[in-house]
Structure 1
């Protein structure tokens, strides 16, 4: 399940994704050890260079000071974070790794370049380090997570996640819906009725803005991923691109140029109509502000988001612009047990760089971060100042809440807390996706594509895809005209990638 948490863009990012986890119900992991048992005086002083995506939150410096205070006392270690904007993440991390820049820990993901970098030897294999220095890292993740997130049967990154699929919803304005005398939105047709009503009655507000700088958030991708009638999933050869996709659970790689998959194509036609009808933002391909940012400024009425419920802080911010404004989440996810397929892969990983001179200390730091008190500090900030605990696995926000990292460094199903104000409906969805038995196991669970044999073709197709994909999948390009151009330029290259991917899939299935 590829996901790129790109559109939060600001300090909203870390908070929203922290809310996406669930309270300690992620599997059979044992409780983490309460202390590291390391004598700091026996360790040489070390400063670790850590590279993560996102943006620095309001409490970044204050929380980092407390992190380093604790680390100094416990591990004679300090950490320095380099925070890279998502728009620059791929290029800058590529340069860092290729140039041998001094980095100890670095964020990577299947939608970024994890498989490529691991295959090319940029990351340390972690089994030995985990066994020796990472008991808490191991214990806070169920065995299913470790088994499903290897690359060539080896561990090149610590999997970061708290459920077996992505949370997905569409945030709409409840106050606008009620003002328009529309009932609660339960279906996609209900959602379109709301969008058209906004267009017809509220000319100063753009009805819909999807994300055009990340294929994950393209409108067609968003709809397809929640449609269990087809169970179409990206192969992750190029992030969340659906140009090569899996369908059902038959172990076949499908090529959209060849199949013109009816459900994908009908969604492309549908979003084209939304664009022509001025329901989809006319600036969807050029908008520089994040969709969430635009929505909180009362400029957009609906946006796709990678959570099931609306964070309290979002409504607080919206009310500063519109006193009666209120967001609500439209969930199109199917809660029928067995209908959704999962390969139990995580979206994000933290890796130890092969050239790091402090590999043991890097793992010791990760182990430290996977203890509840330190996890809470990193994710939520200083207890009593930024947040307070409620019960065993819940929390309440205080003024100026928020920490500095979560999905970028240590997110796991054992230590996540649920916001105490989470409504029952949101809780129902949250809890559903943390239970492995609610999912049908993908026959390709544990499979990872090695793009090395076709790395030139992957790079070439990525360039071609950038010209067409988001325009087609967000409605900004006429599919009758531009799909043919896309196919003419990309079909031969994509066919080579498909053949290699299918070859590796067949070998995996034969062995398993």
Structure 2
């Protein structure tokens, strides 16, 4: 689950009413929005928007969608239809949708998916004019530095979705198990390993650790490297979160793992191999198709990597249905020292308008609608008074059947997010730290986007090679001493060509600064 719910305390900034005339793209006629940000529907033709996002339908999907479409019908004579794609199939299915010209208006994409490639190949609409004409709320709920840092070749091909300057990350463990095993709270990676081995030795039948092999981001080595400020290694995003080409420190150099065998990455690879051999890492890590989080809530797994800092109340509620005394806690290895973490202020997720959409104006109008507080709350939390209720200006309280439809897939921003009222002080400390730009050192690569077009064949070729080895090596399932050599033999020449092109583009970018 590459999903994140990043919480931020902010002030709603609703756009001023802008007189609209004419139409953008090929879709329908637009009328002027009213002062609440809504749009009268009387002059608009009926439109149904096709929206493709990752994940799965939540428990309240039908009821919430009905309310969404009721409001949309009244305000802009529009209906919306969501297609959810499982993360394991996201790359392949969205590729096919775009290449085949399938009828899609809005589609989720990301640097870890294929955003740069699809934008450079012309699959997405450039959004500047649509934002100016139909998207005041979309613009005003995101700071200028977010827009500036998330352009592709100087243009806006997707609305950045995020509310902080780095990704929240933690490892969810079972607090009740830790206490039963007489272990102190987990503060370090060594503490975490002690917990994992203790779970293994407890003969409880619970798998100690399960990473997400279907998504490189969740590979165990990637997870550990992302939070290690002693090296500040991060992916170049030429192939999602792959560390085969990486940046290190802030020197503007592209490093090739085949060449460097970076000591910190390699030592983590050796470490996770031991976890696998010792039956601490799930023996099914490469073949598991179930959501690790769901398996943890079913009392099958004792630790999983998650893209949040705190435990959602709904998770503990679900776990207690299986294990009445069960309780999760978050292990955070993130460094809270100001200045130690680098940020390029890029967001991990985007929503894009497809170039072939016949309703580009209406798609932007819908996004603008979704970036109004009352609609944002509906989409993210569900129906007020039924699924959730307000608790203070920018907090919310969950009810028994809490939950909406989407968040990070469609409209997540730093202005409209609410903090769950039950968020503990430690989680708040971490969450608020990453919303402050001054806590980060600016990445020299801020504003850079790789154009893979000159090496698109090599990128495709390497993706096929990488799929055979990466997740196995970076999750411990393959012996690195044997399989890294095979990986290198097949991929080194191809990766070298990509590295050369990427470095040339980096050098050209830095020369202009």
Report TM bin, short chain.
Answer: over 0.9
3-state SS of 1:42 partner: coil
- Cα offset, 1:263, TM superposition: 0.2
Match of 2:137 in 1: 136
Match of 1:511 in 2: 512
Match of 1:293 in 2: 294
Match of 1:402 in 2: 403
| 8 Å CA contact 2:233, 2:246 repeated in 1 | yes
Match of 1:209 in 2: 210
In structure 1, distance between residues paired with 2:179 and 2:38: 57
Match of 1:320 in 2: 321
- Cα offset, 1:31, TM superposition: 4.4
In structure 1, distance between residues paired with 2:252 and 2:483: 30
| 8 Å CA contact 1:205, 1:301 repeated in 2 | yes
- Count matched residues: 495
**Matches of residues 206-245 of structure 1 in structure 2 within 5 Å?**
206-245=207-246
In structure 1, distance between residues paired with 2:78 and 2:298: 41
**Matches of residues 306-385 of structure 1 in structure 2 within 5 Å?**
306-385=307-386
Q: Deviations over 1:107-143 (max 9, x none)?
A: 1111111111110111110000100110000000000
| 8 Å CA contact 1:32, 1:371 repeated in 2 | no
**Matches of residues 115-154 of structure 1 in structure 2 within 5 Å?**
115-154=116-155
Match of 2:170 in 1: 169
Match of 2:265 in 1: 264
**Matches of residues 263-282 of structure 1 in structure 2 within 5 Å?**
263-282=264-283
In structure 2, distance between residues paired with 1:223 and 1:47: 43
In structure 2, distance between residues paired with 1:423 and 1:203: 30
In structure 2, distance between residues paired with 1:397 and 1:203: 32
| 8 Å CA contact 1:370, 1:410 repeated in 2 | yes
**Out of 12, 21, 37, which is 2:7 matched to?**
21
| 8 Å CA contact 1:164, 1:345 repeated in 2 | yes
| 8 Å CA contact 2:105, 2:359 repeated in 1 | yes
Match of 1:430 in 2: 431
CA distance 1:210–1:85, shift in 2 (3 Å):
same
- Cα offset, 1:39, TM superposition: 2.4
Match of 2:31 in 1: none
3-state SS of 1:106 partner: strand
In structure 2, distance between residues paired with 1:112 and 1:427: 29
- Cα offset, 1:312, TM superposition: 0.7
3-state SS of 2:208 partner: coil
- Cα offset, 1:30, TM superposition: 3.9
Q: Which moved more, 1:317-326 or 1:419-428?
A: 317-326
| 8 Å CA contact 1:50, 1:81 repeated in 2 | yes
Q: Deviations over 1:192-222 (max 9, x none)?
A: 1111111112341111111111111111000
Q: Deviations over 1:50-82 (max 9, x none)?
A: 111110011111111111111111111111111
- Cα offset, 1:507, TM superposition: 0.4
* Structure 2: stretches of 5+ with no match in the other structure: 17-34
Match of 1:386 in 2: 387
3-state SS of 1:377 partner: helix
| 8 Å CA contact 2:111, 2:349 repeated in 1 | yes
Matched, 1:192 2:193: yes
In structure 2, distance between residues paired with 1:431 and 1:37: 31
- Cα offset, 1:37, TM superposition: 5.1
Q: Which moved more, 1:290-299 or 1:32-41?
A: 32-41
In structure 1, distance between residues paired with 2:38 and 2:9: 26
In structure 2, distance between residues paired with 1:301 and 1:107: 31
Q: Deviations over 1:299-358 (max 9, x none)?
A: 111111110001111111111111101110000000000000000000111111111111
| 8 Å CA contact 1:31, 1:414 repeated in 2 | no
In structure 2, distance between residues paired with 1:164 and 1:119: 25
3-state SS of 2:42 partner: helix
**Matches of residues 241-252 of structure 1 in structure 2 within 5 Å?**
241-252=242-253
| 8 Å CA contact 1:107, 1:348 repeated in 2 | yes
* Structure 1: stretches of 5+ with no match in the other structure: 7-12
| 8 Å CA contact 2:125, 2:353 repeated in 1 | yes
- Cα offset, 1:100, TM superposition: 1.4
In structure 2, distance between residues paired with 1:294 and 1:70: 36
Q: Deviations over 1:152-196 (max 9, x none)?
A: 000000000111000000111111111111100000111111111
- Cα offset, 1:381, TM superposition: 0.6
CA RMSD of aligned residues (A): 1.2
